[in-house]
Amino acid sequence: MTALGTDLTALLHNWDTYWLGWGVRDRGSVDGLAYHVSGVPHPILNGVTSSAAPASEVLPELRERLRGLPWVWQVSPLSRPGTVDELLAGGGVDAGSLDVMALDPAAFRPVAEPPAGLSVNEVPAEADLGPWVDGYRDAFGVPPEARDLTVGVERQRSYDAGARTRLVGVLAGSVVATTEVLVTGTVAGIYVVATQAEHRGRGIATALVSAGVERALRDGATAVTLQAEPGALGVYRRVGFRSVSHLTSVYFAPAPAPAPKSSAAERAPRTVARST
């Protein structure tokens, strides 16, 4: 149990479910191994969230499935002891940690009034998802050339279990911020919290997170969770989130594509005719 009395397993189940949804190219959740491959060249959009087997046993297969893409293995406190060390020994790089945060509805402090001119809107299921992607692409570090690919992945991303809601912050008719809510059972997760650089420092992200929590509670959640970088903790604490655990991120650079196999004819020795 966490300090808030919420089962950490339930919080991380929501997190697992969310990232599996990104696996539109390939994904799996069998025998304790959960991985997702979106095909977008961004590490967090490809990777692993859990494995019951030792990392050293599953790394060779994962390298093949994720070949050509950057990816991250997020190691939680529920992972096997020694997982981080195994991943580092296997060529991974320590990419820092994320706080696992949780909010008890009784501690929720909603934003009373959003920043001037900001409207928070739900993205309809049938909407053009280009503005949604543009709202978070730069903040996430998705390469410009991968914009259309990301839009395509977003169209395919779906969840069999759970209610998913996309929210955008709009100023002067343009999307400037995003957040997403996924409810699984009685736990809601907040994801894709991003604000375009020129609009930061105005409380927009806090307003979006607050709207996300309100939507989660309407959808029946009794606990809300998210994962945050150290520099963003203040945004979430302002609405009532507390740190309850952490994740360690281990990064793997893209593995090169294998060299093409030569044909038998190409491998045969060549005879060069010489004139006399």
In a domain, 267, yes or no: no
CATH number at residue 132: 3.40.630.30
Is 129 part of any domain? yes
Instruction: Say if residue 117 is in the same domain as residue 233.
Output: yes
Question: Closest Cα partner for 78 from 251, 250, 252, 245?
Answer: 245
Residues 238 and 115 in one domain: yes
Residues 81 and 111 in one domain: no
Classify residue 258: in a domain, yes or no. Answer: no
Whether residue 215 sits in one domain with residue 126: yes
**Nearest 5°: CA angle at 271, between 265 and 273?**
140
Domain boundary among 99, 123, 140: 99
At which of 49, 79, 99 does a domain end?
Answer: 99
Closest CA to 100 of 251, 250, 223, 253: 223
pLDDT band with cut points at 50, 70 and 90 for residue 270: very low
> Could you report the per-residue pLDDT of 204-242, keeping only the tens digit for each?
999 999 999 999 999 999 999 999 999 999 999 999 999
Secondary structure letter of residue 258 according to DSSP: P
**20-48 pLDDT tens trace:** 999 999 999 877 899 999 999 999 999 99
Task: Tell me, yes or no, whether 176 lies in a domain.
Answer: yes
**The predicted structure's pLDDT at residue 276:** 35
User: What is the reported pTM?
Assistant: 0.89
Last residue of a domain, one of 64, 99, 134: 99
Does some domain include residue 255?
Answer: no
From the list 112, 150, 159, 108, the residue with the least C-alpha distance to 129 is 150
From the number of C-beta atoms within 10 Å of its C-beta (0-12, 13-18, 19+), residue 199 rates as: middle
Is 83 found in the same domain as 13? yes
Residues 44 and 119 in one domain: no
Query: Do 91 and 125 sit in the same domain of this protein?
Result: no
Percent of the chain with pLDDT over 70: 90
Same domain, 85 and 142: no
Q: Which of the 8 DSSP states describes residue 51?
A: -
Asked whether residue 201 falls in the same domain as residue 231, the answer is yes
Question: What value does the mean pLDDT of the chain take?
Answer: 91
Domain-embedded: residue 13: yes
The CA distance from 2 to 246, in Å, is 11
Residues 158 and 223 in one domain: yes
Picking from 109, 119, 91, the residue whose alpha carbon sits closest to that of residue 208 is 119
Q: Is residue 261 part of a domain?
A: no
Average pLDDT, integer, range 156-170: 89
**Are residues 202 and 214 located together in one domain of the fold?**
yes
Specify the pLDDT at position 5.
Answer: 54
For the segment 107-152, what is each residue's pLDDT rounded down to a tens digit?
999 998 999 999 999 999 899 999 999 999 999 999 999 999 999 9
Q: What is the H or E stretch that residue 182 is in?
A: strand 174-184
Q: Say whether both 159 and 36 belong to one domain.
A: no
Please check whether residue 143 lies inside any domain of the structure. Answer: yes
Per the structure, how many domains does the chain have? 2
Task: Give me the domain span that covers residue 143.
Answer: 103-245
